[in-house]
Amino acid sequence: MRRIGFVRSVAAGLLLSLSALSANAQDFPTKPIRVVLTYTAGGVSDGIMRLLAPKMEEVLGQKIIIESKPGAAGNIGVTEVAKSAPDGYTLVVTATNNFVINQFTMKMGIDPLTALAPVAKLADVPLVLFSTPNIPAKNFAEFMDYVKANPGKVNFGSPAPGTVNHMLLERVKQTKGLDMQHIPYRGSPQGVMALLQNDIQLFTVGYAAGVGHLKDGKFTALAVATDTRLPELPDTPTLIESGLPGFTGANWWGMAAPAGTPEPVIRKLREAVQAALKQPDVIARYKAIGLVVPKESPEQWATGLKAEAELWSDTVKKGGITVQ
């Protein structure tokens, strides 16, 4: 009888705890929300959150505190948030590689797919494959022919090893059997300069990073890694049109909470993000700095993370790619 009474007592306590959690979730938020950025202040994620935070605050009725926690290719901030209390008051905003690539190229200590609860994608940065007039190719199909005719003589760069910029071209290499070498840099500006100096012959980056040199005739836009052509580059074919079915890629930015965060809390955060992304001034600012408002819903983005992770995991395994 004592054992039965103990079990009943534990069950009753658990029910009370769940009821309290549910009530707290319904009242969320009742205090400021901390958003951890995994890269340095002044970067893309900082610009995104400085733009969205005031709009989200209007919906949530609480202050959003933005804090940068850079290091280890973004893994430090991601890990800290993943191990925080799952109550919605500590969130992370980070890039593609921190959600679906880093766990395969380096030791993270966590799996973001299980340690985080996706809230919403915040922005897409469509990738453009840039070359220069030094290479006699007007599109990516011609570029691939050039590489095949000059094995081992072509270098491609990325803003950092293990980024989606890097992974996309590794996948192209594997699929088409191209003999070209990867040279990683410490950011997009360094890669752009390397392309101008012909240290590399191909660099994949957002449109905004290369548009100035494109207009000056110093860059050639060979292809875009989107499912349809970019309005800014109507004459530049997609990778799909270039003979690479299914090849798309963007350096997107997303928000997540620790796994176990109550669904009502996630839903309120999603509603705040969606409301912010619909604001005309946000849309205009995104366009000005080369960002795109995500097409898919937060739910669609969350559902697609596993498939994207599997794609890049396969790319990493086939290429034997590691990041120190």
- pLDDT tens-place string over residues 86-104: 999 999 999 999 999 999 9
Tell me the pLDDT band of 8, cut-offs 50, 70 and 90. low
Across the range 218-238, mean pLDDT stands at 95
pLDDT band at 9 (very low <50, low <70, confident <90, very high): low
**Residue 14 predicted with pLDDT over 60:** no
Q: Which helix (H) or strand (E) holds 258?
A: strand 253-258
**Mean pLDDT, the chain, integer:** 92
Q: What is the mean pLDDT of residues 177-188?
A: 95
Largest Cα–Cα distance of the chain, in whole Å? 86
Query: Residue 95 pairs with which residues in a beta bridge?
Result: 253
By the 8 A CB rule, do 171 and 188 touch?
Answer: no
Residues 252-274 have a mean pLDDT of 98
* Top-confidence residue, 129 or 246: 129
| % pLDDT > 90, the chain | 87
- Which token pair is 121? 């994608």
Query: For residue 7, what pLDDT is reported?
Result: 46
* Residue 17, pLDDT score: 46
77 has a pLDDT exceeding 60: yes
Report, as an integer, the average pLDDT of 261-286: 97
In whole angstroms, give the CA distance from residue 102 to residue 82: 15
Question: Average of pLDDT values for 1-29?
Answer: 57
Query: What mean pLDDT is predicted for residues 252-258?
Result: 98
Average the pLDDT over 144-171 and give the result: 96
Q: What is the pLDDT of residue 23?
A: 47
Domains of the chain: 32-124+252-319 (3.40.190.150), 127-224 (3.40.190.10)
What digits encode the pLDDT tens for the residues 306-321? Answer: 999 999 999 999 999 9
Q: What percent of the chain has pLDDT over 70?
A: 93
CA 164 from chain centre, in angstroms, equals 8
Alpha-carbon separation of residue 187 from 44, 127, 137, 216, 310 (angstroms): 12, 15, 25, 22, 26
Tens digit of pLDDT for each residue in 106-139? 999 999 999 999 999 999 999 999 999 999 999 9
Say whether pTM exceeds 0.95: no
The CA-atom distances, in angstroms, between 195 and each of 167, 182, 198 are 18, 13, 5
Which pLDDT band holds residue 42 (cuts at 50, 70, 90)?
confident
Q: Quote the pLDDT of residue 10.
A: 45
